[in-house]
Amino acid sequence: MKNAMLVEAKIWTVAHTDQGNAVLVKPLGSEFAVPIFIGQLEAHSILIGLESVPMPRPLTHDLVLSLMEKFDTFLEKVEITDLREGTFYSRIVLRQGGRGIVIDSRPSDALSLAARVKCPIYISEAIIAEAGVPVKFVSDGPAQEEAGPNPREMEIGRLKTELSKALETENYEEAARLRDRLRELGQN
């Protein structure tokens, strides 16, 4: 997926589910969102950044931004570039003078920084195609809209879509793996 085209996106929401915490990244103007499961501390840090919650002492992401400021460096953008074996990869793009600096990063760290400085976020179209879930699937009905998207349901929807594709292409080994994962999530 390294050469896939990137599209601008935003952090749609951060949600807590039975499966854990997820940040949902939604391409601008799209009816899809990509759930990225993250740890509790990472979810907390993203929420602090999104809500601009003042902290009595700097958290790690605030410290990184302070260091960048001291070195006349700013966060230009965040890119979620790849999805391999269920793991998302991203990078932060910095600008120092006329020089661009690209650093590999966990998506949760990159998104925590982006939430604080409100810089653009980009995501690979290939990731959206592979892991994106229709927003309408998640937010059908008023109760779900108030509570926000349910990442577990989004994952189930994504797995069902992949299962259909695997059956269409007669990839029965992949279909069996997806079927087993759906059973783990309580779906038939």
DSSP alpha helices (H): ranges in 87-171? 107-117, 125-131, 135-138, 142-147, 151-168
Quote the CA–CA distance of 101 and 69 in Å, as a whole number.
14
145 — pLDDT class (breaks 50, 70, 90): very low
Res 118: pLDDT: 96
- pTM: predicted TM-score of the whole model, two decimal places: 0.72
Q: Is 75 part of a structural domain of the chain?
A: yes
Reply yes or no on whether the pLDDT at 144 is more than 80.
Answer: no
Task: Give me the number of domains the chain comprises.
Answer: 1
Comparing 76-85, 126-135, 145-154, the range with the smallest average pLDDT is 145-154
Quote the CA–CA distance of 154 and 159 in Å, as a whole number.
9
Q: Is 147 part of a structural domain of the chain?
A: no
138 — pLDDT class (breaks 50, 70, 90): low
Q: Is 35 part of a structural domain of the chain?
A: yes
Q: What is the mean pLDDT of residues 127-135?
A: 91
Give the other-Cβ count within 10 Å of 77's Cβ: 17
The upper half-sphere exposure of residue 118, i.e. CA atoms within 13 Å in the direction of its Cβ, equals 3
5 — pLDDT class (breaks 50, 70, 90): very high
Q: What amino acid occupies position 109?
A: D
Residue 4 has what DSSP assignment? P
Provide the 3-class DSSP secondary structure of residue 59.
Answer: coil
CATH number of residue 58's parent domain: 3.10.690.10
Look up the domain containing 53 and give its range: 6-135
Reply yes or no on whether the pLDDT at 37 is more than 90.
Answer: yes
| Mean pLDDT for all residues in the chain | 85
Higher pLDDT, residue 127 or 17: 127
Res 3: pLDDT: 61
